[in-house]
Structure 1
């Protein structure tokens, strides 16, 4: 597993060790081996909030088309500007430097500082899903893939890595467009956790080491100096049923002929809840923005 500095200095928290509450930044890269010249934006951006008990997690999806201020990054040759948030990863030249600019952008937007981060690419995550024997995904709206032409019919289906990732990348022809795509990605993270029992893994150190080695090529991580094994042990009580999806309060808006996601007033209270470790209370008061996974 590759370890790098993925967080900008201003985006990194100051807590030591693995004591909650915790905030992690997950970045899904959309680099296509078949079309590397198309650039590399962050296809998925998720803030993972883990309360102090370390036995629950809230997955806050950041719309990739969210219009934000991206700070300057002189080292990457970027002078700063307003753009879709997923462009920050590309403007920072992708990889670790792109993650730093993206983390700085998310912190500028939310005020949240992070305890760690991870980058995963489509091909790598596909291998992880195949390694664990696939996942069960429940399709709520029939949709045809714009990439493969496969029709995902309603109902629960066992999917391998390629099929699962194809499904969670769909947003066209879905009732809520990109918001449905975000929810499906949250469901996939839950489905993976259902197959990977952290409590069972940490109870078998040899198996844990084998698993970390097997998935290591799929992830680049920044744990703020905490060994991955220690992080897995600390989160051993996190169960799939304790995952809750959160939709960032936004709405679609046309700006100069282009469609963007724009923040709703309720977003400020969500950002404050993340900073002050009050996310459970926020979801109780704002059920309309909660995705039951």
Structure 2
């Protein structure tokens, strides 16, 4: 195995549950918009949505209302089976940018172990990015990702891990075609076309190690599941499932997108669903304070920032943050493929300690 393959394998191990959470988050967010547009049982929808909605301190972004390009931070929260949403590590972190003028949607996934500044603490605190949601909820998570990439984050949606199986069952299953045999946790989906129930869809979304394409292949399967659910919801019979689906999602989802904006998202931005590009922030593994981190180079961060800002109709800006400052001290780290030694100049705190918010 060459050095690049070893790095990729190591990175894949850092994302054991990334695929499942990506699917959960995107499905949950888009289901709200597609379902709400039909106005079915509006009062019941409003009541359910009130339980999902987080006013994020009473401020509301206006980008969707004004039909402008906007970004959504999607978080898959590590909250276990207790149903908590407002706390937990965000083991899935994705920035989705949607432009109604170009009809393009760009999705960037960011590793949970990405080194980043926790924006909003009283003193400098650099940790793994997934800590931001646990420390300061959505406000800190949005601010920290915004600082990392120099991209405005307009909205967020967070979901815990309990929803995928229930969502698929709520729409009476989905039909997919697989080019490989998929086996996970005792469930096998053989090569070919199949109608999957929730348990099978969950297994299909999670297998990684046996896929010759690794985590990339798994993400393609997650996209299959996501699009199959959305297409099911867009049919006349799917519309009738919306009320039950909203009830299903209520314990698992929180967002600061209003119901009115969800309706506009479905009506004014539906064309964006046909033009979606998914990418990953590429990073290098490092050991810091005894913990494994992912560190993106300044060149990579700048490139992603430029791409996202262009997608949002913004001019490019030179990136300057704690990551770029520390990267200047670590030229040798980036020049040596085998190096895991990264000098943090004392900026990285012990995980979850010395934190005041």
Normalization by structure 1: what TM-score?
A: 0.70
Higher-strand-fraction structure: 1
What is the CA distance between 1:17 and its match in structure 2?
0.8
Equivalent residue for 1:122?
A: 161
What is the CA distance between 1:163 and its match in structure 2?
3.2
CA RMSD of aligned residues (A): 3.8
Aligned partners of 1:213 and 1:165: how far apart in 2?
Answer: 19
**Structure 1 unmatched runs, 5+:** 93-97, 280-293
1:152-191 matches, within 5 Å, as 153-155=190-192, 157-172=194-209, 180-191=217-228
What is the CA distance between 1:184 and its match in structure 2?
4.3
Change (3 A) 1:61 1:155: farther
Equivalent residue for 2:130?
A: 86
Equivalent residue for 2:150?
A: 111
What is the CA distance between 1:120 and its match in structure 2?
1.9
Asked if 1 retains the 8 angstrom alpha-carbon contact of 2:100 and 2:269, the reply is no
User: Which has more radius of gyration?
Assistant: 2
Equivalent residue for 1:285?
A: none
What is the CA distance between 1:15 and its match in structure 2?
3.3
Asked if 2 retains the 8 angstrom alpha-carbon contact of 1:139 and 1:155, the reply is yes
What is the CA distance between 1:46 and its match in structure 2?
1.8
Of 288, 291, 294, the match for 1:261: 294
Asked if 2 retains the 8 angstrom alpha-carbon contact of 1:25 and 1:46, the reply is yes
1:136-285 matches, within 5 Å, as 136-137=175-176, 144-145=183-184, 148-151=185-188, 153-155=190-192, 157-172=194-209, 180-197=217-234, 210=243, 213-217=246-250, 218-223=252-257, 226-239=260-273, 241-255=274-288, 258-264=291-297, 265-277=299-311
What is the CA distance between 1:8 and its match in structure 2?
10
Asked if 2 retains the 8 angstrom alpha-carbon contact of 1:18 and 1:231, the reply is no
Asked if 2 retains the 8 angstrom alpha-carbon contact of 1:168 and 1:181, the reply is yes
Aligned partners of 2:210 and 2:79: how far apart in 1?
Answer: 24
- Cα distance per residue 1:210-266 (max 9 Å; x no partner): 367445514222126744223222233344x42221122324444465433221423
Aligned partners of 2:54 and 2:220: how far apart in 1?
Answer: 29
Q: Which moved more, 1:256-265 or 1:269-278?
A: 256-265
**Structure 2 unmatched runs, 5+:** 1-48, 314-357
Aligned partners of 1:59 and 1:274: how far apart in 2?
Answer: 9
Equivalent residue for 1:286?
A: none
Equivalent residue for 2:138?
A: 99
Normalization by structure 2: what TM-score?
A: 0.59
Aligned partners of 1:53 and 1:207: how far apart in 2?
Answer: 31
What is the CA distance between 1:155 and its match in structure 2?
4.9
Equivalent residue for 1:15?
A: 63
Equivalent residue for 1:59?
A: 107
Aligned partners of 1:272 and 1:7: how far apart in 2?
Answer: 30
Aligned partners of 1:175 and 1:8: how far apart in 2?
Answer: 47
